[in-house]
Structure 1
């Protein structure tokens, strides 16, 4: 079985633009997510460290066209969010899945695995992810996408706040797969979802009733608590017992925290360290690697030992002694691992053979020491059916615990978990997927229960949600039941106090004229001197303004931008200038003292051409029509000028009629977004028609006006 080694980040890139994304995770680090993950999937070119303002502007513009939602366990979300993608929290149940769905024009990329949305989860730990590129026109691929969408639908009912982005991504996916009919074939991949039923029950349904299990492999950083020595159906080790053959074997992979890559100051003679675990630093080409062994017998000229795979080997004794003398072979401290001792001892009574496999958290990679602790979760079940041997492989978020595998997701019971299972021919062991595992007898290990400190009160849950409407510039804060226990509290945004109290709040909070700053997309609830962050959810990203502290573009500036004579970055820079210094050589070169109808028509034509681009997303379509620095801004400038008598109403009506004519000539390609795009376009056209009625020209004594009206009569209806 081939397993590709690499960083999760490297699997995020695609040659095609991403049109929407959903992430689920237990832990979320917004700084890493924004600077690394979003930068990759949105194909941002600015550097978040060297060009922070430019990066934020580029990222915000792209997010306005590409909906992104992150669903996270409320207790594990870290502060520091700066960009207004949706962060949706689950608090009443342990939310533990790790997945990502990225939508593209012709396909979707689905990733399911073990890594959190943090730097360790995507770049540092030893994790397992499985990735599928699923085409919208493939019935089998669509079936898997529908399964994942069903999973998202179920967890959407668990989130504390729904936001605006998740439904946009799901709607986009559903439009792309709505017409594809399932084939009825047995799926080659099964999505295991604890919100439907216990994951172990779903696994057993995939194994034929007549099959007999003869080997089980489990690997995880966490196992069930050692609260019982009984191996029964309520135990992870016993859940498969009724389906196993008489000679079944069990492999258990665990975290090895105190592995060494070089000898410490201690020294042990070979004869004093027999039947203990040793490390041997050996040359492998130009690099050094660590091999593990257990010396068993010293002969006159040779050393008998058990290697890291549990096989008996021999080595020249002098070479071993020289290696000890040179500090290249040394006895290791007793391996400390977290695993249930009682359950493992009882498993020895049930299974014919139980092997413990240690995953060294520290090891040499290309001769250099690295720390990559185990966080991967893996289950392999090998069975025989007739003359055939097959192995079911499960990769996902579930640890080897009752809450993860044996219980359906529910408050104070089972976790929300997600995994992928598939069946391959032959036997697959956990060492085939992670060859760095080391076989060590149970008696040589120091087995400990992993401590779980009791969490304190998460006061961020005292706020049900924070919602910002950019059109009205109103921020609304809604309290939860937990707020009745608050005392000595403050609500702050960007280090500025919004409101405070010494007793529990009695009503929700509304902040008018709120401005979402580039520095932060979350508020802070400070309770007794401790800060708790809460994400701000924006009702409509398309409506967010470009300029947060005054400024803006005049009509001629907008026409330059829309007509493609200046870029967006230049236009934003112009908008930030004081009005008296906005004129520059480029403006004078293009417009002289003003602008002509040709300049307006050029802007209308250029935008219409952009709107006809089949790769333009639905949100991108809206943004060019309704968003800041879009057509609506330019048209509003014209209407305002006409109403304030700064422009002749006949001229303004003429520009509006020409805009309608240009937009009505757009021919959109048939696609999943055709109907919603047409709905947006028709709504925009209706708003222009309404404005034209308010500025209808006076044709008294001017025949040429009637001629123009007749020309645009059909276009403006």
Structure 2
């Protein structure tokens, strides 16, 4: 068995609308997330570069319908967020999981792996992900989803502020698995979660009680810090040693950062014994590379160890010809990172410790590609009675104490997540990762990675920045970390919001705030540094249709709801109306001197038809009723028209009564979210009824008014 190769972005979307999306990551690039990940998951059709404004409108409306949340480490996210998805931060522990959970109508798609939400993590590095589709109606799958929800519940306790979309996402999932009992271990897959305890203990618990480990393989870009201590259960290499047999092997795979895929200078065979060489040959019309370590030079043959670790011999004349033709060359001393002393200690416990290099640059279909190692993998081969099997774990944990040997928490271990599965045969690390190159310890020197001390994260001085679109306000509150803040300035999109030379002592309230398409972050300027802080929105459904643009009028709304124009066109007409109030020929072409009952009825009927769509999410359902381009917006415009007197109270009452009658006939098909949608509909209709009661209608000498009101009262009875 080995792993398949594919683009992570291609594995995300299904051929149907997504009902909710949750992502966890250590580092985070908002531009990549918004322009590539969201485009794939939400199936957006506009181009984020060539059609930036259209793309933003399309993405913003999709986010109003689909709860999307990204949870990341507070110290590792990059600036540049423009869209109002919930970007939540964890700062009290190192937040290192990499997972994706996408909700669809009949199943959820789960990805767990090693890649961050960056271009490198989703395509530039060598990463490992496991993707599985979990059916809501399958008891085992539902239990796995419930276990993941338990993991999310523990994460919720760690985030600095939970926002709104996190809970909406979890509600959407729980509606589909209401009776599932959380069980992180299934016959096919096990979920390993450091928020529930050390990952290595959860992995060890999957081994049979009488298991004897025959080999352990580890692959990671980062290992535990080196020390001179003896190997024991507090060491990553020693954690499983008590269950290992006396002949057990340890395979350690490390990153090889500087391989050369072409000869750069002449090579001398006599001076290159014991070093890594690379031989380029042709296979099926493509250039391929093989690695070797020459160990002995005879009169006519060369003894060498191939890249699988096997000793071999080859004709010396072929070797010399390849060197002369620059098809065989010696590699520069490899740059590889792993704890030298810990590996030396492991060599005293295991029968053999084999070192493997993962080349960052290699050939793919004959072309050089640079994909540095960022994957994390552990393979445990064991025998249990007469059975020989392997346990494979992949996910976010590096081979370090904080990742594997400690439970997550403040001042403790990292937040990590991984999956494990069983194979009914014995496999080794190189069986799963065939590009690994075996190399004796004499061929390279192991080094420790140097990590610079991080600078103070001044953004943590802001507890939260919350925009309420209904109130039109932004409220910035401060955390205890602001108590010693030096001179500071707060801005939004280049406009200063506040400034002081002393620490802030009260929240900052910005009235009349509009969330612009250009940015969804405020910036705290301190000590010559710009520290972005994500803005959370209290209710995405309440966001205006056109940020910083004109309000959408009743005529445009009726055309939109009646499916005569699209949302983009409605906004354009509103903008044109604001520039030239008397020159709106498009409205006149449709309505003539004004809209009539047929136009209103058509709008209400179209809304009702939309609400019957079973693929519509609960938030999408709300949006059709309560959003800036929904039925509620048109109804609010009608009520305003009564005050301005273009319409009479009787007309408005008539249109409102017809809206209630039409919505009362909406028969939603049986579905997991039917009750939630029904609650939204009842709340909306109750508000319309209250509005109708407030309208003073006097039939007077017009008996037809009484007949119409009697008809609708009877219809609503």
Residue 294 of structure 1 pairs with residue 290 of structure 2: no
1:276-675 map, 5 Å: 276-579=275-578, 581=580, 583-675=583-675
- Alpha carbons 1:653, 1:696 under 8 Å: kept: no
2:348 alignment partner, SS class: helix
> What is the deviation of 1:638?
1.1
- Taking the aligned partners of 2:300 and 2:459, their CA distance within structure 1 comes to 68
* Worse overlay, 179-188 or 248-257: 179-188
Summarize the alignment of residues 111-190 of structure 1 with structure 2, pairs less than 5 Å apart.
111-180=111-180, 187-190=187-190
| 2:689 corresponds to 1:708 | no
**CA–CA separation in structure 2 for the residues paired with 1:693 and 1:86:** 38
Residues 147 and 183 in structure 2, CA contact (< 8 A), matched pair in contact too: no
On the 8 A contact 2:184/2:190 being kept in 1, the answer is: no
CA contact (8 A) 1:234 1:402 kept: yes
1:669-684 equivalence runs, <5 A? 669-684=669-684
The SS at the match of 1:222 is coil
Q: Distance in 1 between matches of 2:601 and 2:440?
A: 80
Q: Which moved more, 1:682-691 or 1:222-231?
A: 222-231
- Tell me, yes or no, if the aligned pair for 1:140 and 1:182 is still in contact at 8 Å: no
- Contact 1:114–1:375, Cα closer than 8 Å, also in 2: yes
- 8 Å contact kept, 1:199–1:407: yes
- Return 5+ residue gaps in structure 1 as ranges: none
CA-CA distance at 1:600 after TM superposition: 0.6
Count of paired positions: 716
Distance 2:272 2:638 in 1: 88
Give deviations 1:264-297, integer Å, cap 9, x for gaps.
23x3321221221101111122211221001122
Query: What displacement does 1:641 show?
Result: 1.1
C-alpha displacement of 1:557: 1.4
Indicate conservation of the 8 Å contact 1:664/1:715, yes or no: no
**Deviation at residue 550 of structure 1 after TM alignment:** 4.1
Partner secondary structure for residue 191 of structure 1: strand
How far has the Cα of 1:368 moved from its partner?
A: 1.3
In structure 1, the partner of 2:82 is 82
Alignment deviations for residues 155-203 of structure 1 (CA, whole Å, 9 cap, x no partner): 1100001100000000000000114578999532110001111111111
CA distance in 1 between counterparts of 2:462 and 2:700 reads 62
Q: Secondary structure at the match of 1:619?
A: helix
Note if contact 1:100-1:112 (Cα within 8 Å) is conserved in structure 2.
Answer: yes
CA distance in 2, matches of 1:260, 1:565: 62
Separation in 2, partners of 1:284, 1:334: 27
Q: Which residue is 1:54 aligned to?
A: 54
Q: Distance in 1 between matches of 2:258 and 2:185?
A: 48
Measured on the aligned residues, the alpha-carbon RMSD in Å equals 1.4
Shift of 1:301: 2.9
Secondary structure of the equivalent of 1:577? Answer: helix
Structure 1 residue 592: deviation in Å? Answer: 0.9
CA displacement at 1:415 relative to structure 2: 0.6
Q: Provide the C-alpha distance between the structure 1 equivalents of 2:126 and 2:439, rounded to a whole number of angstroms.
A: 20
> 1: CA distance between counterparts of 2:355 and 2:504?
55
Query: Within 2, Cα distance between the matches of 1:210 and 1:97?
Result: 31
Question: Residues 26 and 72 of structure 1 are in contact (CA less than 8 Å); yes or no, is this contact kept in structure 2?
Answer: yes
* Aligned-residue offset at 1:329: 0.7
Q: How does 1:25-104 map to 2 (within 5 A)?
A: 25-104=25-104
SS in 2 for 1:376: coil
1:186–1:534 distance in 2 versus 1, CA, 3 Å: closer
Q: Taking structure 1 as reference, are residues 456 and 183 closer, same or farther at Cα in structure 2, changes over 3 Å only?
A: closer
Q: Residues of 1 paired with 2:419 and 2:549: CA distance?
A: 51
Gaps of at least 5 residues in structure 2 are none
CA shift digits 1:592-639 (9 cap, x unpaired): 111111111011101110011111110110001000011111111111
Is contact 2:144–2:182 with CA below 8 Å preserved after alignment? no
Q: Does the 8 Å CA contact 1:660/1:715 hold for their aligned counterparts? A: no
- Using a 3 Å threshold, how does the CA distance of structure 1 residues 611 and 376 change in structure 2: closer, same or farther? same
Paired residue for 1:229? 229
SS in 2 for 1:347: helix
Name the stretch that deviates more: 570-579 or 54-63: 570-579
